[in-house]
A and B are shown apart, each in its own frame.
Chain A
């Protein structure tokens, strides 16, 4: 076992778990994905020494496992499904944002938008790191983040049910997820 790798993973674990949850939208599935990723990371023959490269490597490992699971549950799934859709721009009509409403609306985003926003906002990755992790140009990260936030904004504006749901905590509240199943 690599002691240094273990210590680095300990530093990342809450953000990594947050990213797993953002992808899975379910605490139990997120725990499985997170544990699987940890075990693979700890048993990998080698890992990047550089701190930034290690974070990218670890989150990418978890993301690849998530994609494997999607493929296992849906043989027709491919990365081509993760395409960007145009969204209207973010307006300036409301400058105060309800944080819990945002988190519930986040659950209704498409996979591709949850993915990129979770990397930037939850994982704390820069655009350059996110581009490396997703293997896309920085300009694509820039436009994808913009579209993701515009979609989030649209959900908050167009779907008042999002903000009137009882806020019982993120875990275990699958109503919005069930309602939106099929969108992502």
Chain B
């Protein structure tokens, strides 16, 4: 991906989300080091991302999982019932 001229928002977002390839990401980082407006857009997007990600920390703890059930034993009463019928 070439990064000449204005960089689309979707590409900057992908950069913030770590979704760009290493070469494209390095090119964008290099441009940001010399373009304050681009650096500010990246910083703002990082702030938005951190804010949304922080939802997890702001919530109460997730309800616990149901405890794993113990392996059930096959009930013995059907066998006892069948045996009883045989003895009648």
Contact = CB atoms under 8 A, between A and B. Distances in A.
Interface of A: 1, 3, 6, 9-10, 13-18, 21-22, 27, 31, 34-35, 38-39, 42, 89-103, 106, 117-118, 120-122, 126-127, 142-143, 145-146, 149-150, 152-153, 169-171
Contacts of A97: 44, 47-48, 50-51
Contacts of A106: 51-52, 55
Given A14-B56, A103-B58, A95 B63 contact: no
Contacts, number: 135
A74 B72 CA distance: 41
B51 A142 contact: no
A63 to B, nearest CB: 16
Q: What 10 pairs between A and B have smallest CB-CB spacing?
A: A102-B51, A97-B47, A17-B62, A92-B40, A146-B10, A121-B52, A18-B56, A95-B43, A99-B51, A13-B62
Contacts of A91: 41, 44
Contacts of A98: 51
B65 A103 contact: no
Contacts of B69: 1
Interface residues of B, number: 38
Interface in B33-84: 36-38, 40-41, 43-45, 47-56, 58-66, 68-69
B55 A38 contact: no
Q: Which of B9, B37, B54, B63 has the largest count of A CB atoms less than 10 A from its CB?
A: B9
B1 to A, nearest CB: 12
A106 B69 CA distance: 38
Contacts of A92: 36-38, 40-41, 44
Contacts of A169: 58
A13 B38 CA distance: 36
A27 B17 CA distance: 27
B14 interface: yes
